[in-house]
Structure formats: C-alpha cells, structure tokens
Amino acid sequence: MALKSSSRGISGIVSILLVFAIVSSMPPTNGALRKPMYAPGDKWVYVLDGSLGGFPGFNASQGTFHLALVGLVYVNVIGSGIVLVNNGSVSAVRVDSRATGWLNGTFSVPPVGSGQITGSFTTTSTEFWENHAYLPMESLGTTSYNANVNLGITTPLTLSLRVNATTSYSSVPPFELDVGQNASAAFTAHVELNSTFTAFFQTMTSQNVTDVSSTWHRDVLSRENVSVKAGTFSAYKLNQTLGSFPGLPSGLAGGNETAYFSNDVGFYVKRTAYENGTPSAEMRLRSYSYGAGPAAGISATQVLLFIVLPIAVIALVVVLLWRRRKARIQGHASPPASPAEDGQQVGGKDRAR
C-alpha cells in the first residue's frame, strides 16, 4: 500500500509540473504577435529582388534609370547598446545588415540615347532598435553601386550614398497585437544624406539635411501560411510604415510595406516594399539561426522551465524513494517485542493481594 501511495503521489506532482510548464510555454493570450528576445548571433538571410527608377540627387534631366537588382540580404544581431535620445540614454539592440547583388537595366541620357547597365551593389547599415523591439532609433548606412554603361562606348558609373538618421518616438507602441488590431506612434526623424555620383567622367555631389515628422503605423491584417526557401511558416500579415530596406538607397526608403512576421522565426519571413502603391522590392527568408541566447519568441522563463522540470522530477523521485528505503531499514532494525508468556505479570508494579 505504501508503494502504491508513493507512486500516486509522484505521478500527481509530476502531472502538476507538466501542466505548469505547458501553460507557461503557451503564447500570451493578450496578443498574437510575440515580441522577440534578440540575442547576439541571431541571423536571418533573405533573397532580394527589386527595381530602381531613380537615385537621390540625380534628376531626370541628367538621365533616367530602369534597374533590376537581385541579391542576398544578411541581418545580424550584434548585441546591446546605448543610444542618446533627447539628452537621455536609452537601451537598444544593435543590428547590422548587409545586402549584395547584381544590377541589370537601362540608362537614358538626353539627347544621347539609351544604353545597357550591368554591375553590382552593396549596402551596409547599422541600426539601433529600442530594446527588444523593432523600431530604429539610430541608423547609419552606406549604399554603393558600381556599373558599366554601354552607350556605344562603355563608361563606368558609380554611386555612393551615405545616410545618418536619428529618430525619436512619442511612445513605443505595443508589439503584442492580434488579427484586426493596430498600433501607431508619432515620430520625428533627423536625416542627413550625402551622395556622390560619377558618370561619363563627371562627378556630382549633393548633401541634404531634413527633419521629418510623421506617424509610424502597423495593421495586423490576417494570419497565413507563407512558403519561402527556408520553409513554410505560420505568419501574421502586416501593413506598416516602411523604414529602411536593405538594398534600396536609403533616400528612397519610405512609403509602406506588406510584411509577414512569424513567431517561430522571430522576425519577418517575407517583406514587400511599395513606393506610391507600386512594388519596388521584396525579401524572402532563405535561412535563419539563433545565437547563444534564448530563441526569438521564447522567453528565458520558458527555457528555464524546460531545463529545471526534468531535474526537479528526478530529484523528487530520488527523495521519495530514499525516504521509503530508510523507513524499511528502520523497520528491520527494531522488530516488535514477543508476546508475554501465560501467567507472566505485565507491568512495573505488583498487584495487591
């Protein structure tokens, strides 16, 4: 009976621990999107397809572009950092992005005519996102295009864009949104854009400094299965304000985007950028991996439960078995006294006669 009772006690405690772990690991009920817990070494790789119809600082009277670009985008979490905002220090997550690929298209120069362009591009950027979230507070980026233009003769074309932007938000909007919900935040951005353009052995430079006040907005439209090279994922379809977009010139980033965010991936599985309602670029997830910290979308508490739970169960079983064994040993060491013989007086005092 003691063995059965102990077994039932162990099973009951184990069941309670399992239920607690399962409930703790479930997504929060107050929102479908789960805020990622970024860690150094988290990495996402995307396939990039896009098109360009112009460059900042280059007007139509000097020539017109129609370029297609194809390449890869690498997004890497570097670690934590500090950003100065409104004379205060704010904790942030540093994220570095790099895009590389090929250019192919046409370049028209009035009154010379049109020619073919082939070449390559590279974009590097460093962004500081508000801590464990997604909105950039500081951005530093460089985009370089190197190509050859064939207009009867082949001439080199190079373009370099450098951007330095700082952004402050009225408040950080909630991340945990479900289908049909939305969030927004007013922001003010200070942007410095420098460009150097060389074509037909002439170099043009420009510098623009501007302050932009607007509102960032996100709508959660639906939940869908999205298939990309990395696999098929359940993702939330978002319509949101477009900030920077790897591969596109920083000065062209703007408008809106349709983005698909997956809790399992901890980031986007697909993004499509629009300019004036026309698709301009698309990123599709090729692969992803996590660094030393908890996987994105999984909290440290959940990871701790997965580690502690088996250890706690084993320790509990060992303690209960040890107590039962100790009780058996004590029982063998102190056997019960033998019954008194017939007629023998039991007790410490003689009965009166």
Same-domain check for residues 22 and 122: no
The pLDDT score that the predictor gives to residue 316 is 65
The pLDDT score that the predictor gives to residue 32 is 87
Task: Answer whether 8's CB lies under 8 Å from 300's CB.
Answer: no
228 belongs to a structural domain: yes
Domain count, the chain: 2
The pLDDT score that the predictor gives to residue 302 is 47
Same-domain check for residues 21 and 162: no
Same-domain check for residues 92 and 239: yes
Same-domain check for residues 265 and 321: no
Nearest to 121 by CA among 93, 160, 163: 160
352 belongs to a structural domain: no
Same-domain check for residues 173 and 253: yes
The pLDDT score that the predictor gives to residue 348 is 45
Same-domain check for residues 187 and 95: yes
For residue 205, what are the domain limits? 36-296
Same-domain check for residues 147 and 195: yes
What's the CA dihedral at 222, 265, 96, 147 to 10 degrees? -70
Please list the rounded mean pLDDT of every run of 10 residues in the chain (353 residues).
Answer: 53 53 46 86 96 68 79 94 76 92 84 81 91 82 88 83 90 91 93 85 87 93 97 96 79 78 96 87 96 54 51 64 66 54 46 38
Spatial distance between the Cα atoms of 322 and 316, rounded to a whole number of angstroms: 10
284 belongs to a structural domain: yes
- Taking CB atoms within 8 Å and a gap of at least 24, the contacts of 274-280 are 274/242, 280/50, 280/51, 280/52, 280/248, 280/252, 280/255
Same-domain check for residues 261 and 326: no
Same-domain check for residues 13 and 118: no
